[in-house]
Amino acid sequence: MDNSLDRYQDPIIARKRTQYIDITGETHSVRGGRVQLTEIPSKRERVVVKGNNRVWKEVQSIRLEPDYFRVDYVNGVVYFHEDNENKSFSFDYKGTGAYYFPASRIWVKEENGEVTETLDTLTTRAEEQADRAEVGANKAHDMAVYAQELTSDFETMVRETKKDYKQAVNTYSEIVTTYPNPEIGWVVTAIDTGRRYRYDGFEWVFLDVVQFDKLDVFVSPIAPVNVNLVWIRKDVKEPYLTRITKSSTPPEDKRLIWLESIN
């Protein structure tokens, strides 16, 4: 592709304000169940939604009612119920700045793991087609809209796929007490059930089940480099690998992790 080296030189620019500004009356229409705000809103000051002769309520639930909305304060995205599709609303919030992704960093086509087209080249082609003839104006417009949707999808993908594995806990209820201030992408395993959960910014969401029986476990006071290992934090002189074994009686080897089972 053209200018294939340029994408390695284009940085992601963060513009964070030292003093937040009041943004009032910012108007957007709901597309695909969400609205992308101009800036990242302050979570402390929250976002106020106005319009459609309703009293709007901000919630953290994934399932939204027609008069509810949810805010992603990491990426500045406001989510709405499907009944509000294509409706316009006004937004008031404290602007903290924004992240700017260069068009050369957002890919739209790939082949065998190699990027063949970026948002930058896609937008350029759309502009060239519009210049050639007015007949192609509609197609160029559709491509521009498609590129805009891809930008939003890219930001959502980054937020939804990030994973940072943390030390396992004994039960699901211990996740909240052990990690009271989680960050997006944190993954914690509940040892009693083998179920893994990921924090999506609002709640701990079930991912999958780990079969602990005869599974290697890394015991150490600090996290291992290999994030795929199950890690149990313990103040030991030397880190070691051990195994989880199901049994109705304690194992003779005290270095084994014992899960009591009556089966």
Q: What is the DSSP string of the chain?
A: -TTTTGGGT-PPEEEEEEEEEEEEEEEEE-BTTEEE-SSPBPTTT--EEE-TT---EE---SS--TTEEEEETTTTEEEE-GGGTT-EEEEEEEEEEEEE--GGG-EEEEETTEEEEEHHHHHHHHHHHHHH-GGGHHHHHHHHHHHHHHHHHHHHHHHHH--EE---BSSTHHHHHH-SS--TTEEEEETTTTEEEEE-SSSEEEEEE---TT-EEEEESS--S-TTSEEEE---SS-EEEEEEEESS--SSTTSEEEE---
What integer is the mean pLDDT of 54-77?
A: 92
Q: Which domain holds residue 119?
A: 102-161
Do 168 and 256 belong together in one domain? yes
pTM over 0.85: no
Using the 3D structure, point to which of 133, 161, 189 is the last residue of a domain. 161
pLDDT at 230: 73
Do 108 and 38 belong together in one domain? no
What integer is the mean pLDDT of 110-139?
A: 66
pLDDT at 218: 78
Do 149 and 174 belong together in one domain? no
Residue 248 has pLDDT above 90, yes or no: no
Do 109 and 35 belong together in one domain? no
177-201: pLDDT as tens digits? 999 999 888 889 888 777 889 998 8
30-44: pLDDT as tens digits? 998 999 999 999 999
221-243: pLDDT as tens digits? 887 776 566 778 888 888 877 76
